[in-house]
Amino acid sequence: IFSPPKAQASQRNKPLQVLALGLSRTGTESLKRALEILDYDHVYHGFDFLKHPDQVLQWVPLLEQKIAGRKDFSAGDFDGIIGHCEAVSDLPCSALSSELLSAYPDALIITNHRKNVDDWYASYYQTVDPLVTNWWYSFLCHFEFEAYWARRLVCRVQDIHYHGDFKHRGKEGYENHYANLRAEAKDRCLEWTVEDGWEPLCSFLGKAVPEVDFPRGN
């Protein structure tokens, strides 16, 4: 319906050091803010594509190519979007976990998760899933340029994680995502929850523990 926004490609000008590849609603905002406190220069988060809608044009084709079976992703596919970032968190990066792990083999991996999958499911179902399933929002998106493309991105993320059916396959998708992530990340992976706070995170990253409380995001 809408022509895509014109993308403004960037180039990588600093190494990508940290891939926080946990699903949305697993402390991704808190982790983003924590990594920024630890002096990682720009931590990409789902908020970024909402602030910069032109980036959706770059993300959506990558997600749709993955769904179509493409295997030959490289850092060059991602640096045009996240070349200015030293770390990433949240969607859409979580939906391209395998591809990012392969593209950035020197990055450290954080598998941020929730201790209780039922709590995670309820949180996601109430906040993220309605962006896809709410009929009124879906209808309005056909008349609002940025909302249309943002919804399309979230739809593709849910196709990858939950086969397009979060209500019935959300928990299955959660378990599969983390099982695959742990198998692929192996010895460069930190298992972490927001409740763990600074100490294990800083130890894993080789950083001093800041003299501030751990940030709490939404």
Three-state DSSP state, 114: coil
pLDDT score, position 127: 95
pLDDT score, position 11: 80
Please state, in angstroms and rounded to a whole number, the distance separating the CA atoms of residues 179 and 112.
Answer: 13
> How many distinct structural domains can be found in the chain?
1
Backbone phi and psi for residue 192, each to the nearest 5 degrees, phi listed first: -150, 145
**In the numeric block, which tokens belong to residue 153?**
């991105």
Asked if residue 205 has pLDDT above 60, the reply is: yes
Look at residue 3 and tell me if it is in a domain.
no
Distances 3 to 80, 90, 141, 149, 186 between C-alpha atoms, Å: 20, 26, 13, 9, 41
Look at residue 88 and tell me if it is in a domain.
yes
Look at residue 28 and tell me if it is in a domain.
yes
* pLDDT tens by residue, 83-135: 999 999 999 999 999 999 999 999 999 999 999 999 999 999 999 999 999 98
* pLDDT tens by residue, 138-154: 888 888 888 899 999 99
Asked if residue 7 has pLDDT above 70, the reply is: no
Domain extent for 117: 18-205
* pLDDT tens by residue, 23-57: 999 999 999 999 999 999 999 999 898 888 889 99
CATH number for 189: 3.40.50.300
The residues that bridge with 110 in the sheet, in sequence order, are: 20, 190
Please state, in angstroms and rounded to a whole number, the distance separating the CA atoms of residues 52 and 57.
Answer: 10
* pLDDT tens by residue, 153-204: 999 999 999 999 999 999 999 999 999 999 999 888 999 999 999 999 999 9
Look at residue 141 and tell me if it is in a domain.
yes
Alpha helices in 38-134 (DSSP H): 46-51, 56-67, 75-82, 97-103, 117-127, 130-133
Q: At what angle do helices 166-185 and 117-127 cross, to 10 degrees?
A: 120
Contact predicate 109/19, CB 8 Å: yes
147: CB partners within 8 A, 6+ apart: 137, 140, 141
Please state, in angstroms and rounded to a whole number, the distance separating the CA atoms of residues 49 and 212.
Answer: 29
Which DSSP letter does residue 96 get?
G
Look at residue 43 and tell me if it is in a domain.
yes
> Any idea what the Cα angle at residue 11 is, between residues 5 and 13, rounded to 5°?
140
pLDDT score, position 186: 85
Look at residue 1 and tell me if it is in a domain.
no
Look at residue 75 and tell me if it is in a domain.
yes
Look at residue 10 and tell me if it is in a domain.
no
Please state, in angstroms and rounded to a whole number, the distance separating the CA atoms of residues 128 and 158.
Answer: 10
Run of H or E including 111: strand 108-112
Please state, in angstroms and rounded to a whole number, the distance separating the CA atoms of residues 158 and 168.
Answer: 12
